[in-house]
Amino acid sequence: MRDRLLQLEKAALSEISSIKNKEAVIELKNRYLGRKGELASLTKELGKLSHEERPVVGDLINSIRGRIEERVNSLLTAFAQDEREQRLKAERVDVTLPGRYLPLGNSHPITQIMDEVVSIFLGMGFKVAEGPEVETDYYNFEALNIPKDHPARDMQDTFYISDDVLLRTHTSPVQIRVMQGKKPPLRVIAPGKVYRRDSDITHTPMFHQVEGFMVDESITFGDLKGVLTAFLHSLFREDIAIRFRPSFFPFTEPSVEVDIQCVMCNGKGCRVCKGSGWLEILGAGMIHPMVFKAVDYDSERYTGFAFGLGIERIAMLKYGIDDIRMFFENDVRFLRQF
């Protein structure tokens, strides 16, 4: 019996020394140490032994069980630790890996210039107003002192929806809408889309304007010059030369067109400024008494100036783009450059 027990221990320990995985350890543990395992069946034979032998062999069985158990348990711990290490390795996050690329858009160059123009005027205390793109003849023309037979209507190639309804040809009708609803003092800009039947490398049927106006008691032409000069210096360059040229608009009197020194040739004369050294940037003037009459303002008490400018033209000059249609072709290779 003693020999059989020692042999069993030897066999178990040698099996253990070549074991490869956790499952095999558990199987071996059951086979040797389980309730119906080999050690248990030898234990049953204790009864056949003599009184003297029984405790001695019993002790031997217990110590063999102890040694096998100890080896088995230490193996199980080792395998568990191994498994844990493997899992941690597999789960490790490499924080030095580059992040996933999220495609990021940018705002359209026209939007960018629009935002810049608006923010300069916000800085001078102007408020933003908006009006409808589908407008009536009255707001787009009549109230702006452009009656039905006025030659100025020919300059504006209007998209008509009906005799009386049209796509606004400029942002000036917003002047009327704002003044109808509010009393002076007013400092307002109105950015938005306008429409004209025109299409070539400097014209598209839809383009953007910013209208602005200021009305109060004793607003003068000096205020017009001061505000527009500050605006253009901020938009282009602090020291850019500016020129006010007499002009005509039905809704202002006197009227001016405002030029800046050509940004392409610095005034020397080039293709863009057609050799003149100057670029026309905006139209402006002192609001006409007929316009004040249309909104029921007393033109003896109030005066004001107004101006309007085209955003595409400014964007073309700032970015050196010579075909306006590029803005609306939605070619991302073009748009990504801004």
Which stretches of the chain bind ligand DAH, using CB under 6 A? Answer: 170, 172, 211, 249, 252, 283-285, 306-308
Shortest separation between residue 318's beta carbon and ligand DAH, angstroms: 19
* CB burial of residue 136 (10 Å; 0-12, 13-18, 19+): middle
The three-class DSSP label of residue 216 is strand
* CB burial of residue 221 (10 Å; 0-12, 13-18, 19+): middle
Shortest separation between residue 193's beta carbon and ligand DAH, angstroms: 12
In angstroms, the CA 127 to CA 56 distance is 105
Phi and psi angles of residue 261, each rounded to the nearest 5 degrees, phi first? -55, 140
Distances in Å between the Cα of 203 and the Cα atoms of 57, 111, 134, 155, 198 are 110, 18, 20, 14, 6
What angle do helix axes 311-319 and 109-123 make, rounded to 10 degrees? 110
Shortest separation between residue 335's beta carbon and ligand DAH, angstroms: 26
CA dihedral 279, 118, 140, 181 (to 10 degrees): -150
With respect to ligand DAH, which residue has the nearer C-beta, 71 or 170?
170
With respect to ligand DAH, which residue has the nearer C-beta, 79 or 141?
141
Q: Which of 306, 310, 57, 290 shows the shortest CA–CA distance to 188?
A: 306
Shortest separation between residue 253's beta carbon and ligand DAH, angstroms: 10
Shortest separation between residue 320's beta carbon and ligand DAH, angstroms: 24
Shortest separation between residue 307's beta carbon and ligand DAH, angstroms: 5
Report which residue's Cβ sits closest to ligand DAH: 308
The answer to whether 155 and 203 have CB atoms below 8 angstroms apart is: no
In angstroms, the CA 145 to CA 291 distance is 6
With respect to ligand DAH, which residue has the nearer C-beta, 170 or 177?
170
